[in-house]
Structure formats: structure tokens, C-alpha cells
Amino acid sequence: MHTTQKHSTKQTLRGQSFETSEHEERSERSMTAIVQDRYGSADVLEVREIPRPDIGDHDVLVRVAAAGVDRGVWHLVTGRPAVTRLAFGLRRPRNPVPGLDVAGLVDTVGAGVTRFTEGDVVFGTGHGTFAQYTRADEDRLAGIPTNVTMTEAGVLAVTGSTALQAVEDHGRVRPGDRVLVLGASGGVGTYAVQIAYAVGGIVTGVASSDKLDLVRRLGASGVIDYRADDPLAEPGRYDVIIDTGGNRRLRDLRRALTPTGTLVIVGGENGGRWLGGTDRQIRAKLTSLVTRQRLTTFVASEDAIHLERLADLVETGHVTPVVDCSYPLAQTADAIAHLESGLTRGKVAITTDRTESR
């Protein structure tokens, strides 16, 4: 369990400071935010002044220092695959401010909030974090580990929780298990490699050639360039496969598993315009009913229990967020385009003008 850190007007967290400007203190009710009125490519995003969010009894208003960009953000901005609109809004996004990952400072707490007070530094998820302030449920936040920067904390919650659940809850990786991570250089994969290694797995990571060194440094004892070799070529090789990229056929994934092995499908891009690969996930669950292999999938939850477990793994040095680069809030569209370029190693961060290097 983590104790939260208190900060006053100027806070510092491992090499970064977080300061309140006079102008900010004057403009009490407004904030700069990234807003989208419709689905589309990154150019639908506009920088606007809008009212700060109201909070309910169990909410926290967080002053955003950093926010992570992940594939979910891309799905929200574009409204693709179409199935995602069931969650985000059919014709346009219900919440016009994108962004889920956040790290920052507790500005105000609702009357029923018990876990945090003003001045705590927290990470987790908020309702629209590409803004100077965001509303967060108190149960979707945790105290920031002392050994990371605000920027690192800002890219921790969404893909870190996903990896944690894939490896521990669904993959049930045990010491000595041979674990294959498909998409090992990505947002989920960089955490999955570290967590699988931390729990004693013997990890093989799959990525493109120029990212294999990174994957090795994260704890993989074996690496495979998916453009040069087929990572699923050897039958019965793996006890657990964590699948975050490539959308490989179920039958190929199963062949690479032991007869009682576990496949955890996290996701994968380019899985189709309408369903985005969710059909493969449903087929995996159905097939699992009639085989000794466990074939599963899940929708990740960024709840406090997982966030605190993640924070412990970071605090004890088992997990370090991999930040590829960070962009100022006003350049969020460029940050999303960078993620889309396929060049990213680990995570892309958005920082507000309050997150600065000393």
C-alpha cells in the first residue's frame, strides 16, 4: 500500500517540478483542453478554453501534470472500429475531451472522498485527461510511486493495469513458465514483459528488429523479429502467450501453446473496420469451452487494487514505465500521430505547462 505525497504551491517529483502559475490561480473556473466535436483523424482535435469539470461526492478534481496516449485514445478520436462507438457515443463522442491516463495533483475532493486530500500526487484514470484539469473517481486513482517522474506516472495506469491483468489475473504466470509476449515493444507489451519476468516467467518478446534491444533490457531472455521469423513456428513451445499485436490466427496461436497452455488475447490493431478483431476474441472464448487449453480475453479495469499493485511493482524496481517521448498539451494531435506512426517504443506522453524539467 502506498502513502501519498503532499505538495504545496510548488511540488517536485524525481527531477520534475509542478508549479501553479498566478494566471492559473486567477482563472478559477476555466481550463485549456483538447476538444473533439466529431470522430475523425487527429485534426478533429482543437485546443479550447472550456469550463473545468464539476465533481461529485466520490470524485476528485486532478490538476493534470501528464497524460498517456494509448490505442484506446486513437479508437476514441477516430470512432474506429465501429464497435467502439457503442461505448464512446454513436454519432460523436459523449465526452468531447479525450484521454484516460493521468498523473497530477489533487486539487479538490468531493464530500464523500476518503482516500485522498488536496495536495496528494496521484496517478490513474480520469474522464478526459487531455486538459489542465480532469474529474476522476477516487477508486480509479492511487498514490504515485516515489521513484518515477510525473511523466512516467502519467503513462502507467491504462496499459500498465492491462499488462498486470493479462499476466497475473488471466495468464496466471508462475515461476518457470515459458511466456511469449506478442507486441513486446508496445504500450501494453513493455509492461507485460517486465511483469512476466518479475513473477518468474522465462520471457520471449516479439517486436520489430530495431526495438528488440529494448525488449531484452526489459527482461526478455529471448526476442523474435516478427518480420524475419514466425514466433509461432515451434509447436507446444509456450505455457502462456500474451497477445497484444499482430492479430494472428487462433489456430496458429494454439499450436505454439502446450496442450494445457493459456492464451490471453489483449488486442491488436487492423482487426477489421467494424469489429476490430473482437470476433477473434469471442471465438477464443468459445473454443476454450472444448479444449484443455485456456483461451481467454478481457476488458481491463484501472481500479485502485490493480493501480496499487502496479505502484508496488514500480516502487520495488520491477517495473519502469518506458516513455518514448512527450508532447505539450497543445500538440496532442502530433502525439497521437506519433503513436500511429508505429515508431513508438513503449509510451507517448502529453504534458501540461506545469510539468517541467528542473
Residue ranges that bind ligand NAP, judged by CB under 6 A: 70-72, 159, 162, 182-189, 206-208, 211, 226, 244-246, 266-269, 298-300, 342, 344
| Residue among 131 and 184 whose Cβ is closer to ligand NAP | 184
CB of 298 to ligand NAP, least distance (A): 6
List C-alpha distances in Å: 340 to 29, 176, 251, 300.
Answer: 34, 35, 28, 22
Least distance in angstroms from the C-beta of 281 to ligand NAP: 8
Considering the complex, what minimum distance in angstroms separates the CB of residue 190 from ligand NAP? Answer: 8
Tell me the residue type at 271.
G
Smallest distance from ligand NAP to CB 240, Å: 16
Alpha helices in 19-149 (DSSP H): 22-26, 71-78, 85-88
70 vs 177, beta carbon nearer ligand NAP: 70
Q: Which residue is nearest to ligand NAP (CB)?
A: 186
**Of 52 and 170, which has the nearer Cβ to ligand NAP?**
170
Nearer to ligand NAP, 47 or 83 (CB): 83
Element (DSSP H or E) covering residue 281: helix 278-288
- The residue behind cell 506512426 is 341
> 128 is written with which cell numbers?
478526459
**Beta partners for residue 181, in sequence order:** 205, 242
The residues that bridge with 202 in the sheet, in sequence order, are 178
Closest approach of Cβ 16 to ligand NAP, in Å?
Answer: 23
Nearer to ligand NAP, 31 or 241 (CB): 241
Cβ-proximal residues to 351 (8 Å cutoff; 6+ apart), any chain:
65, 66, 67, 150, 151, 154, 326, 327, 328, 329
- Amino acid identity, position 193: V
